């Protein structure tokens, strides 16, 4: 009887531990900023970074694209072949917001495409649905968790 109780207690402890880990630890494909958690698609190869969200029809309010660079730098972005506007957030290696471009509009002709270059180095760049940065009050200095 004591053995059964020990086994049941171990099972309960295991189940509770798994629940706690799932609740408190965010997976690699999510990013939290302020009180919002974004499900992000990771772009970390040259080809993925080059194409980004180009030629996609939309992005939902809780989705994002996280561009991951090998080292901090002044990474510029443009909206060639994009079909919808985005807010772009540059994040440094300490996972703090260092630059924001809100409501960046798509362009169709390369000559008309504007390049946005941040004034601070970043290691990560997050693209989210236009308007969300204002809605959740993203500001320079905000911490991110991912």
Domain residues of the chain, as ranges? 28-145
28-145, CATH topology level: Jelly Rolls (2.60.120)
Tell me: the pLDDT tens digits for 97-110?
999 999 999 987 77
Tell me: the pLDDT tens digits for 7-49?
766 677 666 655 554 444 444 599 999 999 999 999 999 999 9
Question: Global pTM?
Answer: 0.77
CA distances from 18 to 36, 53, 133, 141 (A): 23, 34, 33, 33
Tell me: the pLDDT tens digits for 45-70?
999 998 888 888 999 999 999 999 99
Higher pLDDT, residue 138 or 25: 138
* CA–CA gap between residue 134 and residue 140 (Å, rounded): 12
* CA–CA gap between residue 146 and residue 25 (Å, rounded): 10
Q: Assess contact for 42 and 51: CB atoms under 8 A.
A: no
Stated length of the chain: 146
């Amino acid at each position: 009887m004591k053995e059964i109780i020990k086994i049941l207690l171990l099972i309960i402890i295991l189940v509770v531990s798994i629940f706690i880990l799932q609740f408190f630890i965010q997976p690699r494909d999510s990013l939290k900023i302020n009180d919002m958690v974004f499900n992000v698609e990771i772009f970390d190869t040259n080809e993925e970074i080059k194409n980004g969200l180009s030629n996609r029809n939309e992005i939902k309010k809780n989705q994002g694209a996280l561009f991951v660079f090998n080292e901090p730098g002044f990474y510029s972005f443009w909206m060639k072949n994009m079909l919808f506007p985005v807010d772009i957030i540059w994040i440094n290696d300490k996972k703090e917001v260092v630059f924001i471009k809100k409501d960046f509009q798509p362009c169709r002709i390369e000559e008309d495409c504007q390049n946005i270059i941040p004034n601070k180095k970043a290691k990560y760049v997050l693209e989210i649905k236009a308007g969300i940065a204002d809605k959740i009050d993203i500001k320079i200095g905000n911490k991110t968790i991912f």
